[in-house]
Amino acid sequence: MSTLGTIFRVTLFGESHGTGVGAVVEGVPAGLKLDLDAMRHELARRRPGQSKLTTQRKEEDEAEFLSGVMHGAATGAPLAIFIRNTDVDSRPYDATRDLPRPGHADFTAWAKWGPARDHRGGGPFSARTTAPLVAAGAIARQMLAGVKIAGHVVEIAGIEVPHEIPFAALAGAEGHATRCADPTTAVLMEHAITRARSEGDSVGGVVEVRAEGLPAGWGGPGADGLESELARALLAIPAARGVEFGAGFRAARMKGSEHNDAFDVDHAGHVTTRTNNSGGILGGISTGMPLVARVAFKPTSSLPRKQDTVNLATMKPAVVETKGRHDPCVVPRAVPIVEACVACVLADAKLRAAAENKR
């Protein structure tokens, strides 16, 4: 079970090869007319089997509302979303039940739960649980009128987008299977993924997400701050290994005079900064500048090749070869998931800011 948020709360449940996956979403304002087309669109962006670069599992990902919705609008009560698993083939996992895949959560699930764990398709660790997160993210986006959130792939297999892409051009990333907004780099990335797949290997990369239209003043100091909440949500995405904001790890190599974002006032009388090395957050609180975060994803651990492991039944060395359907690179499919995390955290921050201002 995994819960994000304080007022806008999203609790995820489910397994890859069980009956389905779902989310209980609390804090949706009563009367909010749910934009189901927008939700379907986001779910379709995350869905597997859309291009030759992803796993060929085919899921319809039709969200069913079990509670909290009447005549298409939120009632204010907890909203339960359920998405059935339909294209399940657990046979490849039965043969490797006792053989944990290196790099996956098979071993740690066994260490925590023993033989009762659901070993099929990664069980609760599967990225399948991010489908209801994306559905919740679609609701969060509706609650964030005026805030635009867009993600894109900036690095795969060490191949980086060489320049900053303007916000308006980020939508162009959807036109390429890699979700990279720079067409030349996108082709190089695609070749790297195809090559890795043909070699029985996988590659990782980095998703950048930006949010524009945020007012200054959302968030708070310390662990309740926007950076902490965003990092918590983003690192919970399967295969996420690191999160940075603005200049991120590069800040460690900059001088203060280079890194500080000088303040200015825009035509509308709002305080702005001339640069945005802070990534739109100072002291855990939004500055009003675009929020910029990057999430690093590891290469997919399930590989169609022999890997050394241990047989957990005999405790003897063994070899495992993954036979299921897998993404040779999870990064393109992670883009709508990263956006959904940001939407959920920002919707919560908005409600918290409104609650604080009332006091």
Ligand X SMILES: Cc1cc2nc3c(=O)[nH]c(=O)nc-3n(C[C@H](O)[C@H](O)[C@H](O)COP(=O)(O)O)c2cc1C
Q: Tokens 């039944």 label which residue?
A: 313
Nearer to ligand X among residue 85 and residue 142 (C-beta): 85
Decide if 159 contacts 189 (C-beta within 8 A). yes
Binding-residue pattern over the window 261 to 300 for ligand X, x denoting contact by CB under 6 A: -------------------------------------x-x
Note whether 238 binds ligand X by CB under 6 A.
Answer: yes
Q: Considering the complex, what minimum distance in angstroms separates the CB of residue 212 from ligand X?
A: 24
Of the candidate residues 302, 309, 347, 348, the single one contacting ligand X (CB under 6 A)? 302
Q: Considering the complex, what minimum distance in angstroms separates the CB of residue 65 from ligand X?
A: 24
What string of H, E and C letters represents the secondary structure of the chain? CEEECCCCEEEEEECCCCCEEEEEEECCCCCCECCHHHHHHHHHHHCCCCCCCCCCCCCCCCEEEEECEECCEECCCCEEEEEECCCCCCHHHHCCCCCCCCCCCHHHHHHHHHHHCCCHHHHHHCHHHHHHHHHHHHHHHHCCCCCEEEEEEEEECCEECCCCCCHHHHHHHHHCCCCCCCHHHHHHHHHHHHHHHHCCCCCCEEEEEEEECCCCCCECCHHHCHHHHHHHHHHCCCCEEEEEECCHHHHHHCCHHHHCCCEEECCCCCEEECCCCCCCEECCEECCCCEEEEEEECCCCCCCCEEEEEECCCCEEEEEECCCCCCCCCHHHHHHHHHHHHHHHHHHHHHHHHHHHHC
Give me 53's structure tokens. 């670069």
Q: Considering the complex, what minimum distance in angstroms separates the CB of residue 202 from ligand X?
A: 8
Of the candidate residues 8, 125, 218, 245, the single one contacting ligand X (CB under 6 A)? 125
Note whether 122 binds ligand X by CB under 6 A.
Answer: yes
Nearer to ligand X among residue 287 and residue 322 (C-beta): 322
Note whether 17 binds ligand X by CB under 6 A.
Answer: no
Q: Considering the complex, what minimum distance in angstroms separates the CB of residue 322 from ligand X?
A: 7
Of the candidate residues 120, 333, 350, 352, the single one contacting ligand X (CB under 6 A)? 333
Region binding ligand X by CB under 6 A among candidate stretches 25-33, 153-161, 273-281, 333-341? 333-341
Binding-residue pattern over the window 139 to 168 for ligand X, x denoting contact by CB under 6 A: ------------------------------
Of the candidate residues 24, 79, 80, 127, the single one contacting ligand X (CB under 6 A)? 127
Number of residues that bind ligand X (CB under 6 A): 20
Of the candidate residues 234, 301, 341, 342, the single one contacting ligand X (CB under 6 A)? 301
Note whether 178 binds ligand X by CB under 6 A.
Answer: no
Q: Considering the complex, what minimum distance in angstroms separates the CB of residue 129 from ligand X?
A: 9
Note whether 96 binds ligand X by CB under 6 A.
Answer: no
- In the complex, the residues that contact ligand X under the rule CB under 6 A are 55, 104-105, 122, 125-127, 237-239, 298, 300-302, 326-327, 330, 333-334, 337
